[in-house]
Chains A and B, each alone.
Chain A
Amino acid sequence: MNEENVFPVFAVLQFPGSNDDRDLRFAVKSALGAEARLVWHKEPALPADTRAVLLPGGFSYGDYLRCGAMARFSPVMSAVRRFAAAGGPVFGTCNGFQVLCESGLLPGALLRNQGLDFVCDVEQHVRVEHAGPPFLSRARTGQVLRIPVKHGEGRYVVDPVELARMEAGGQILLRYCDASGAVGGAANPNGSVADIAGVRNAAGNVMGMMPHPEHAAEEGLPGGCDGLVVLGSLLDFLEKPR
């Protein structure tokens, strides 16, 4: 019976200390109707039918040494590196973003918020800088999305040379803004350089963002459902006939 292969399979990684893994799975399964499997970090391989990899938020390994620094040594990350190198889409949110940066799959690093406060805001907005597949095909460039943030170490840092390269290459996908779309100022919750909330790699198949799309995945809840713009774009990408 091949029915389980009808829907693209998302692999949701679980590290010790991950805490948004089930929220991500809920968003993918319940809100999008796709298949999602939790994959423990000690697994040496991804499920054979994996079409996309999601790295959840949380505090993997207690944030020891640096956020995300330990998770990159988990056995499953070798498989994720191979998956990404082959062009497979990989998406990380919050701690997942930190893990992707520490793993070298994304440029830059995430440091303690400039104001030293843990930020927790359901009213955070981000502006889409470059719409398009695989992560933002359901958006249009310039669109404002409301996606919650909750992090203590979300200040994106990258050196000026790399930043210029990323800007030129369209790798800055999301910037912090207010509800009207005005970028920066008080709308930047953590002091990220250039108000960056989300980036992709040069190849375009790996994305990380600090806000939590999985917390904005259901009508009727305070978070709204703008997060499905991001996760749904990835689903559309996977369902596209080859």
Chain B
Amino acid sequence: MKAIVCVTLKPDVLDPQGRAIQRACATLGHAAVTDVRQGKLFEIQIDASDRAAAERLVRELCEKLLANSVIEDWKIERIET
């Protein structure tokens, strides 16, 4: 199975890299881009017997390793079987 996890900065945490990317969009002439926030995407291959077991494992990984709850939110985008 493969899990797709996104980790992003919490909404109230400043993201200077995202802001720099937004400015680059403006430089390209895309004034329509008003904000960019950047994050991380993890593709995780898992040997698991079923989907529920895979999800339990991924949740634990998110809480203990992939995200720092002080500054980041995480979301399991999908689990592909």
Contact = CB atoms under 8 A, between A and B. Distances in A.
Range, interface on chain B: 10 to 19
Contacts of B14: 111, 114, 155, 191
B17 A116 contact: yes
Contacts, number: 33
B48 interface: no
Interface in A135-178: 155, 157-159
Contact of A159 (B20, B66, B70): B70
Interface in B43-81: 65-66, 68, 70-71
B68 A112 contact: no
A47 interface: no
A111 B17 CA distance: 11
- B14, B66, B68 — most chain A CB neighbours (10 Å): B68
Contacts of B71: 109, 111, 157
Contacts of A65: 65-66
Contact of B16 (A69, A109, A116): A116
Interface string A46-87: 000000000000000000011001000000000000000000
Range, interface on chain A: 10 to 19
Contacts of B68: 66, 69, 102, 109
Contacts of B28: none
Contacts of B20: 116
Contacts of B17: 112, 116
B37 to A, nearest CB: 13
Nearest to A72: B65
A130 B10 CA distance: 31
Contacts of B70: 101, 107-109, 157-159
A115 interface: yes
Contacts of A113: 16
18 contacts: A65-B65, A69-B65, A102-B68, A107-B70, A108-B70, A109-B70, A111-B9, A111-B13, A111-B14, A111-B71, A115-B16, A116-B16, A116-B17, A157-B70, A157-B71, A159-B70, A191-B14, A191-B16
Give the top 5 A-B pairs by smallest Cβ distance, nearest first. Answer: A109-B70, A109-B71, A116-B16, A114-B16, A109-B68
Given A69-B68, A111-B13, 15 more contacts: A65-B65, A65-B66, A66-B68, A69-B65, A102-B68, A109-B68, A109-B70, A111-B9, A111-B14, A112-B16, A112-B17, A113-B16, A114-B14, A114-B16, A116-B16
